[in-house]
């Protein structure tokens, strides 16, 4: 039976207490929500770092070169002999990569002779994983064999000694290529394919 005393009505509203309990509750709710968001952000950052670390652990050098090419990232390739190769990676084959340069035109670089790959200033680093693109099914000797039919002017950089040979690419056999020099009189030079480090030409 309702005796009319305060607090007996179940539908009555609570009376604000000293210091405004409602404002304090609102502050607590905001603080708890903020803590939850901070924990979620920390978990997201941790997962991102874990994924980046996992990708880095699965990286391969060929995949890095492919990522450079796909992203059109200007690179500098250190090589075992001669000057670094600067440009954009155009293709990656089984044993070489093709780089488009300003100074030397297209340069075919044997993968074994690349010592490092540096990103040009102002460009982000890449992580090359095996899940990315795949190298083309081309070998350096196969490409030179096809080029020889067009008799292009090429510059061959040698693996041992770092010397260079220039002339018209005439023939490519099983393990040897021949050049015809522009000297007077012209001379024919035979180069073992295993001695070829780089081949540069202008289409």
Q: What is the pLDDT along the chain (203 residues), one digit of tens a residue?
A: 555 555 555 555 555 555 577 677 677 677 777 777 777 777 666 666 545 555 555 578 998 899 899 989 999 999 998 899 999 999 999 999 999 999 999 999 999 999 999 987 776 666 555 455 667 889 999 999 999 999 999 999 999 887 999 999 999 999 999 999 999 999 999 999 999 999 999 97
Tokens 């061959």 found at: 156
Q: Is 111 among the domain residues?
A: no
Q: Is 173 among the domain residues?
A: no
Inter-residue contact 130 to 58 (CB < 8 Å)? yes
Q: Is 79 among the domain residues?
A: no
How confident is the model at residue 127, as a pLDDT? Answer: 59
With 0-12 / 13-18 / 19 or more C-beta atoms within 10 angstroms meaning exposed / middle / buried, residue 192 is exposed
How confident is the model at residue 53, as a pLDDT? Answer: 56
Q: Order of strands across the sheet with 85-92? A: 114-119, 75-79, 85-92, 96-100, 106-110, 196-201, 153-158, 164-172, 176-180, 188-192
Tokens 């292009």 found at: 152
Q: Is 193 among the domain residues?
A: no
Counted domains in the chain: 1
In angstroms, rounded to a whole number, what is the distance separating the alpha carbons of residues 77 and 87? 9
Q: Is 43 among the domain residues?
A: yes
Q: Is 38 among the domain residues?
A: yes
Secondary structure, 3-state, 8-28: CCCCCCCCCCCCCHHHHHHHH
Q: Is 30 among the domain residues?
A: yes
Q: Is 32 among the domain residues?
A: yes
Q: Tell me the residue range of the domain where 25 lies.
A: 19-57
């Amino acid at each position: 039976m309702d005796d009319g005393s305060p607090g007996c009505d179940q539908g009555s509203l609570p009376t604000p207490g000293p210091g405004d309990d409602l404002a304090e509750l609102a502050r607590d709710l905001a603080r708890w929500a903020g803590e939850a968001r901070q924990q979620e952000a920390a978990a997201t950052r941790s997962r991102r770092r874990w994924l980046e670390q996992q990708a880095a652990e699965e990286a391969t050098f060929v995949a890095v070169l492919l990522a450079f090419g796909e992203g059109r990232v200007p690179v500098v390739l250190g090589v075992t002999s001669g000057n670094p190769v600067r440009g954009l990676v155009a293709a990656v084959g089984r044993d070489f990569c093709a780089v488009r340069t300003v100074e030397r035109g297209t340069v075919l670089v044997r993968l074994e002779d690349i010592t490092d790959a540096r990103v040009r200033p102002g460009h982000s680093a890449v992580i090359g994983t095996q899940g990315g693109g795949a190298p083309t099914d081309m070998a350096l000797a196969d490409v030179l064999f096809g080029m020889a039919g067009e008799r292009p002017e090429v510059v061959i950089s040698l693996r041992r000694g770092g010397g260079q040979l220039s002339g018209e690419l005439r023939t490519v056999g099983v393990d040897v290529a021949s050049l015809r020099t522009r000297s007077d009189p012209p001379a024919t030079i035979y180069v073992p394919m295993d001695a070829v480090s780089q081949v540069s030409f202008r289409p």
